[in-house]
Amino acid sequence: MRAVLQRVTSGSVAVDNEVVAQIGLGYVILLGIGPEDTPAIARDLAEKTAYLRVFEDEAGKMNRSLLDVNGESIVVSQFTLYADTSRGRRPSFINAAKPDLAEPLVEVFTARLREFGIAAQQGIFGAHMVVDIRNDGPVTILLELPQN
């Protein structure tokens, strides 16, 4: 499972010109699911996301977590994180999980964030989404479990 965390001052997701998720300070999380991923991996990655310290403290050091800053999140399913570009000019997505596996694991990940008390919204699985990311820093972190 792969997550690209974008630390944001604000973010939103629109589908068919309608905003379906909107946050202030927090993360826009682009979440890719692989075919070997499990609910346990989704929960572990959500916990790592909740406690990762990339928000600044009073001294300007990245020393606060999403929980510490009472941040919000938007989780966006992103199968393209599993793109294979090793051959040709068009990416292959054969390494991404099929929707019947991926969609429930996106739900598990989001639910686990909520268990920590994080306001977690989602894009619409499988929809064409327009994601607005107002990246702060910029800070972009790639998390992957299991780690290769």
Over residues 7-13, the mean pLDDT reads 98
**49 is a catalytic site residue:** no
Catalytic residue among 6, 49, 79, 109: 79
DSSP string, 64-111: E-TTTTT-EEEEEE-GGGG-B-SSSSS-B-TTSPPHHHHHHHHHHHHH
DSSP string, 107-144: HHHHHHHHHTT-EEEE--TTS--EEEEEEEEEEEEEEE
Helix axis angle, 99-115 to 39-51, nearest 10°: 40
Total count of residues recorded for the chain: 148
Q: What percent of the chain stands above pLDDT 70?
A: 99
pLDDT digits (tens, 9 = 90+) for 88-107: 999 999 999 999 999 999 99
Catalytic residue among 6, 49, 78, 122: 78
**Domain 2-141 classification at class level:** alpha beta
All structural domains of the chain with their residue ranges:
2-141
**140 is a catalytic site residue:** no
**22 is a catalytic site residue:** no
